[in-house]
């Protein structure tokens, strides 16, 4: 059930980013980062190659910041660290890291 929700959420995000008028960035939206990480982990589990994942990301995200964020997610999930991550684990890890990263500057003030 969770995978279906994540997939549906990602589909909505991808559809929104594909439309020029509703272009959004994902690199600063933790929930989107987590959803995408879960989807990438699902691709890996279903034998999609790293090259296929990079092509899919490039197809839907043209913004430089978005592409960098997605490429970093893909690199980690397809690397040694991500090989054992389930989609749910990937979603939680990336969402938490994003949230901690966003909180960090305010903690220094």
Q: What is the pLDDT of residue 101?
A: 85
Q: What is the pLDDT of residue 60?
A: 85
Q: What is the pLDDT of residue 20?
A: 37
- The total domain count for the chain is 1
CA distance 63 to 26: 10
Range of the domain at 30: 2-108
Contact at 8 Å (CB) between 50 and 74?
yes
What sign for the dihedral angle of Cα 103, 105, 106, 109? positive
CA nearest neighbour of 74 among 60, 103, 9, 24: 60
Q: What is the pLDDT along the chain (109 residues), one digit of tens a residue?
A: 555 445 545 544 544 444 333 344 565 689 989 999 999 999 999 999 999 999 988 888 888 888 888 999 999 999 998 888 999 999 999 999 989 988 876 545 5
Q: What is the pLDDT of residue 81?
A: 85
Q: What is the pLDDT of residue 3?
A: 57
Contact at 8 Å (CB) between 31 and 24?
no
């Amino acid at each position: 059930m969770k995978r279906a929700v994540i997939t549906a959420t990602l589909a909505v995000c991808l559809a929104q980013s594909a439309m020029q008028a509703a272009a959004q960035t994902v690199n600063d939206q933790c929930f989107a980062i987590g959803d995408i990480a879960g989807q990438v982990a699902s691709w890996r589990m279903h034998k999609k190659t790293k090259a296929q994942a990079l092509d899919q990301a490039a197809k839907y995200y043209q913004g430089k910041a978005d592409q960098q964020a997605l490429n970093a997610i893909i690199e980690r999930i397809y690397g040694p660290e991500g090989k054992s991550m389930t989609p749910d684990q990937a979603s939680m890890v990336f969402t938490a890291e994003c949230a901690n990263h966003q909180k960090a500057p305010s903690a220094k003030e």
